[in-house]
Structure 1
């Protein structure tokens, strides 16, 4: 096979392999993370438990019903003296008793404690939903941090491979020039050194890329095969103005919403604690069956009783040593703590939002500058390359132009994905992360 045919065959194999690799889009990555990330699964289980706790079966509003039964057997030696003066002696006299009953208990009034506890469970359920949302948001930010790292390294590999290709072309030219006496061996050696350096850079970057892909796979629940690529295109789609975004942050920030739920829970804790100051009124009912099989010494040989009984009971803990008063006081202090935390979070949100907004704007500006720098570096490299071909520029100057273009491409790649991550973090802070399409 000729060299030309071999290169054509190799090119086709590479093209087929590239097409065979699955491209993981950003939308697919988010979908896989939501379905398979273990942290999100654990958070969803916590939400399910909290939802179960809000059931009426866990509210205390329903009555309790329990059944009981028993049996007793006696084998006695009995000496009985009757009132008429006669007596009898029984050896091995048998007797037995059987009973069964159903007992119902229902609390009619408990100082409204059940009502406040039930409301607390509902607030706790909503708090668990917010905690799950926070886990999801943090996972998405982590996902894109790793995803864009893979994307950046992928673009870096492409840039390094293009640099290596140029270096190999330069080596071929230097070798021809040396063979025909137009240049010294130094030009060939310099080209070989540059090829080695470019190859080492590709090896190191490929290793980083493989590690980054493994990190991404962990976030996705380890559901991907090794051969996959990511979408390196980035679209900056922030549709909010600064003021409206800041207002959203004060209303929708998940940390702030959790604190508001904790305030509501603390308020219910105070009311629930105060309910212990009031009396408790309960209803009891029993339906029972009893059968007695007596021995011969008894006047009644067999007796059977069935009956229904019911009653009301009132209890009022007039003084419990001060434990209720202590609980109420502590609940009030905890409410004050939650309110202070809310104020502190609002201050932190204001600071973090200003920092995140400026960081996003700065990184976006840097990316735009790097985009322009690419055009300048590309134009400079092309002109230097033309001059190098006609001998007006030496290999050192050509290599410097080549490295300038490579560094510009690497810096542009870094700036692009850093700007996108800054946008995502700004959306998370404002509570809009889960409302955008990736």
Structure 2
């Protein structure tokens, strides 16, 4: 009787710890929360913005540099003039003077490697975009795996609970037969050992479920102690064919595309060094206007 009470107590504790204050969570919602909160995805998006900014800076190498300076000066002086042929000095009070200076300088430097640099920056932007897609795909894959792992562990818990109920019934029968003298003590002790073993498996499974919940919450960037009730329905999609998978792996695999782009970037870096040996062309233009 004590064992039955203990079994009910364990079952109620596990159910309350898994279902209390829990909200419903399906796979689509889990993926949405993960994409909104995952820091790897946010960092990947910011890297795209940085690469695009570098590409815009690279376009500036084709534009000339123009500097313009404009100055304007005023002065008021008291002037005393004395000439050789005129002994009387001339006194001029509040003599005003004005000067203006306008200078404009334009420099245009053409470097042959600028085209290669611009193309390399464009490839780096593509690499950052592919890396962002990889971060999204890894997040979706990780959350999907963790979600269905939790579903599997919950189903396994129900199986172990049924097994423990059967072990409890077997133990009760063995105990009754032993007390009535219909069976030996060995059968009763064997049933008790099996019951304790199944009870230990049930407790271990409860810890596995809790760890699976924490792992799912971490992937969604939520509080590890947050509780969700997940749906145990797994939808099976259309049948997969190995030929289509191989073709998709070469055409759509982002990691392979990133490797391909990085190889092209390395080739352009080498070409950039080669082109930098060519002569550069600089054009200077100055315009100066002084007015006194």
Q: Same fold (TM over 0.5)?
A: yes
- Could you tell me how far apart the structure 1 residues matched to 2:150 and 2:141 are? 14
**Aligned 8 A contact 2:214 2:224 in 1:** no
Aligned to 2:26: 25
Structure 2 CA distance for partners of 1:263 and 1:82, relative to 1, 3 Å: farther
The residue that corresponds to 2:196 in the other structure is 196
Name 1:256's counterpart in structure 2.
256
Q: Does 1:210 align with 2:210?
A: yes
Q: Which residue of 1 aligns with 2:282?
A: 281
Greater relative contact order (Cα < 8 A, sep 6+): 2
Alignment partner, residue 147 of structure 2: 147
- Report what 1:170 is aligned to: 170
In the alignment, which residue of structure 2 is the partner of 1:417? none
List runs of 5+ in structure 2 lacking aligned partners.
Answer: 74-80, 90-96
With over 3 angstroms needed to count, the CA separation of the structure-2 counterparts of 1:14 and 1:101, relative to structure 1, is same
Counterparts in 2 of 1:190 and 1:127: CA distance versus 1, 3 Å: same
Distance 1:71 1:200, change over 3 A: farther
Cα separation, 1, equivalents of 2:101 and 2:176: 109
Q: Summarize deviations over 1:340-379 as a string: whole Å, max 9, x none.
A: xxxxxxxxxxxxxxxxxxxxxxxxxxxxxxxxxxxxxxxx
Query: 1:68: how far off?
Result: 5.4
Matches within 5 A, 1:101-140: 103=104, 105-107=106-108, 110-140=110-140
Distance, in Å, in 2 between the alignment partners of 1:82 and 1:183 is 148
State TM-score, norm by structure 2.
0.71
Moved over 6 A (4+): 69-72, 80-84, 96-100
Q: Aligned-pair distance for 1:202? A: 1.8
Distance 2:186 2:154 in 1: 34
Change in Cα spacing, 1:64 to 1:189, as seen in structure 2 (3 Å) is: same
The answer as to whether partners of 2:58 and 2:121 remain within 8 angstroms in 1 is no
Note if contact 1:116-1:268 (Cα within 8 Å) is conserved in structure 2.
Answer: yes
Aligned to 1:359: none
Match status 1:36 vs 2:37: yes
- Aligned-pair CA distance for 1:81: 11
Q: CA deviation at 1:129?
A: 0.8
The verdict on how the C-alpha distance between 1:105 and 1:280 changes in structure 2, with shifts beyond 3 A counting, is same
| Separation of aligned partners in 2, 1:64 and 1:211 | 61
Task: State the 1:286 CA deviation.
Answer: 5.2
> Is the Cα–Cα contact under 8 Å of residues 64 and 105 in structure 1 kept in the other structure?
yes
- Once the two structures are TM-superposed, the CA of residue 131 in structure 1 deviates from its matched residue by 1.7
| Contact 2:214/2:225 (<8 A) preserved | no
Cα distance in 1 for residues equivalent to 2:287 and 2:246: 63
Q: Aligned in 2, Cα 1:152/1:118: closer, same or farther, shift over 3 Å?
A: same
Determine the C-alpha separation between the residues in 2 that align with 1:151 and 1:281: 68
SS for the counterpart of 2:62 is coil
Shift in CA distance, 240/196, structure 1 to aligned 2, threshold 3 Å = closer
The CA deviation at 1:128 is: 0.8
The answer (yes or no) to whether the contact 2:116–2:272 under 8 Å persists in 1 is yes
CA distance in 1, matches of 2:107, 2:150: 62
* Counterpart Cα distance in 1 of 2:59 and 2:104: 20
CA distance in 2, matches of 1:196, 1:149: 26
8 Å Cα contact 2:110/2:280 also seen in 1: yes
SS in 2 for 1:55: helix
Query: 1:179–1:82: structure 2 CA closer, same or farther, 3 Å change rule?
Result: farther
Shift of 1:163: 1.2
Q: What is aligned with 1:247?
A: 247
Unaligned runs of 5+ in 1: 73-79, 89-95, 291-303, 306-438
Could you tell me the TM-score, scaled by structure 1's length? 0.50
1:251 and 1:104 map into 2 onto residues whose CA distance is: 52
User: In the aligned structure 1, how far is the partner of 2:84 from the partner of 2:249?
Assistant: 94
Q: 1:34 to 1:14 in 2, by over 3 A?
A: closer
Task: Report the 3-state secondary structure (helix = DSSP H, G, I; strand = E; otherwise coil) of the residue aligned with 1:282.
Answer: strand
Q: 1:185 to 1:239 in 2, by over 3 A?
A: closer
CA distance in 2, matches of 1:172, 1:137: 52
